[in-house]
Amino acid sequence: MAQILYHTAFLGDLLLSIPLMRQLRKEFSGEELHLVCRKGLGSFFKQLGLVDIVFEVEKGKGSSPYRVLLRELSDFKYQRLWCPHESVRSALVTRQIKAKKRIGYYHWWNSGFFNQRSKRPMHLPEALRLMSLLAGLRGDFDQFLDKAKNLSNPQVLESWNSNSSQGLPDWASMDLMKAGVLSLDCREKLFDEARIQRENLGWQNKRIVILAPGSNWPTKRWSLESYMKVARSLVDQGFGVVLMGNQAEREICQYISESVPETKNWAGLTELWSSFCLMTQAEIFVGNDSGATHLAVCASLPVIALFGPTTLSLGYRPWSDRTLVVQRKLNCRPCGKHGALVCPIQTHDCMNKIEPEEVIVAINDFLSPS
């Protein structure tokens, strides 16, 4: 027997579904969990033991990748299909996957696609919204969500520290480094790879700080000049600074690295698994509202996240007890769920008004002995 999670969103959204994956593992311990996701992401979740089998879709290539996917899935029949992805295409594709029960979010148009639908609780952070799909699973699961009422999305537009919120319950955590989350075999492989990554850096004794200046959405990016100032300050203090990102972000990381040559540009050089392993060796992470920021949470890193076009009220904050979100109170925020390709009012003040000095002070505050 098996169940399948269909979630073809970007990396950050998929990482936020880790608490859901863990809960599905717990509730259905005798069943395999399969995952459908974007191309290039699946092996990471399989290596961590969060899922058993992965199927990947190369989005943006029309209908052909979906036909290939359905052929690959044609021999499987699932007990339950979980689909947090709300697009019409996802509904059409999942209807063609053999499953006894299909679980998704409630929409007026999708009663013919799912036989169990939950209203998406928009007042909660995304990690808990995803968990709400389990609400109809058993009578007492709503009690779990009731315990999280004090974890509603912050409505503030000023900088926000997660210390001001209720602590995250273990059952909703996406911190993979907590005891008992990963198998002993997985942890051994993780630490072996982390050791290799540190050796490749050549920094056996340096304290490592990771900067991730990229994002799929240009308006979410803090200026490269600001990242340069932060990198220079950290290098001058004796830290080893690693610039991380995917292959598409290598150029912007190289721009910073050329300005601060003591840094290491690791963007695009390692797969997701190796990047995660290296993160476990770092002291702190600084990045935008991006998938890399959520990956740092999984690695149990303190996170300083720079929010511009998006806001905490949207529900996609780094899901951690050790997070500082740096942002500015502006009437134009948010300008969309994902931001925009260009600033709608041509100022980009939401990011430009975040000063490097504030971020440098925040880093030192995190790293100073309490």
How many other β-carbons are positioned within 10 Å of the β-carbon of residue 120? 18
pLDDT of residue 136: 67
pLDDT of residue 146: 67
pLDDT of residue 144: 65
Give the Å distances, CA to CA, from 323 to 62, 219, 236, 243: 38, 21, 24, 19
pLDDT of residue 204: 84
* C-alpha–C-alpha distance, residues 290 and 275, integer Å: 15
How many other β-carbons are positioned within 10 Å of the β-carbon of residue 96? 12
As a whole number of angstroms, the longest Cα–Cα distance in the chain is 61
* C-alpha–C-alpha distance, residues 243 and 247, integer Å: 12
Is there a contact between 103 and 24 (Cβ–Cβ < 8 Å)? no
Q: What is the pLDDT of residues 27-69, one digit of tens each?
A: 999 999 999 999 999 999 999 999 999 999 999 888 999 999 9
pTM summary value: 0.95
Query: Could you give all domains of the chain from N- to C-terminal order, each with its CATH number?
Result: 2-152 (3.40.50.2000), 184-367 (3.40.50.2000)
Burial class of residue 237, CB neighbours in 10 A (0-12, 13-18, 19+): middle
Q: What percentage of the chain exceeds 90 in pLDDT?
A: 83
CA atoms within 13 A on the CB side of 316: 26
H or E element: which one contains 104?
strand 99-105
Regions of the chain short of the pLDDT cut 50 = none
* C-alpha–C-alpha distance, residues 87 and 175, integer Å: 28
